[in-house]
A and B are shown apart, each in its own frame.
Chain A
Amino acid sequence: GAVVSQHPSRVICKSGTSVKIECRSLDFQATTMFWYRQFPKQSLMLMATSNEGSKATYEQGVEKDKFLINHASLTLSTLTVTSAHPEDSSFYICSAPGLGVQETQYFGPGTRLLVL
Chain B
Amino acid sequence: GQQLNQSPQSMFIQEGEDVSMNCTSSSIFNTWLWYKQDPGEGPVLLIALYKAGELTSNGRLTAQFGITRKDSFLNISASIPSDVGIYFCAGRRGGGGNKLTFGTGTQLKVEL
B-binding residues in A (CB < 8 A): 1, 4, 6, 32, 34, 42-46, 49, 59-61, 91, 93, 95, 97, 102-110, 112
Knowing A34-B99, A43-B104, A45-B1 are in contact, say whether A107-B44 is a contact too (CB < 8 A): yes
- Chain B interfacial residues counted at CB < 8 A: 24
A-binding residues in B (CB < 8 A): 1, 3, 31, 33, 35, 40-45, 48, 50, 88, 90, 97-105
Interchain pairs with CB closer than 8 A, number: 61
How far does the Cβ of A8 sit from chain B's closest Cβ, in whole Å?
A: 13
How far apart sit A32 and B100, CA to CA, in the bound complex (Å)? 13
B48 and A109 contact, CB distance less than 8 A: no
Q: Given the complex, which residues of B lie within 8 Å of A91, measured CB to CB?
A: 40
A107 and B1 contact, CB distance less than 8 A: no
Knowing A59-B1, A105-B45 are in contact, say whether A43-B103 is a contact too (CB < 8 A): yes
Q: Given the complex, which residues of B lie within 8 Å of A95, measured CB to CB?
A: 42, 100
How far does the Cβ of B69 sit from chain A's closest Cβ, in whole Å?
A: 16
Q: Which residue of A lies closest to B51 (CB)?
A: A102
How far apart sit A93 and B90, CA to CA, in the bound complex (Å)? 15
A110 and B41 contact, CB distance less than 8 A: yes
Q: Which residue of B lies closest to A61 (CB)?
A: B1
- The 17 sampled A-B contact pairs (Cβ below 8 Å) are A34-B100, A43-B102, A43-B103, A43-B104, A44-B88, A45-B1, A46-B101, A46-B102, A49-B99, A91-B40, A93-B42, A95-B100, A105-B98, A107-B35, A107-B44, A109-B42, A110-B42
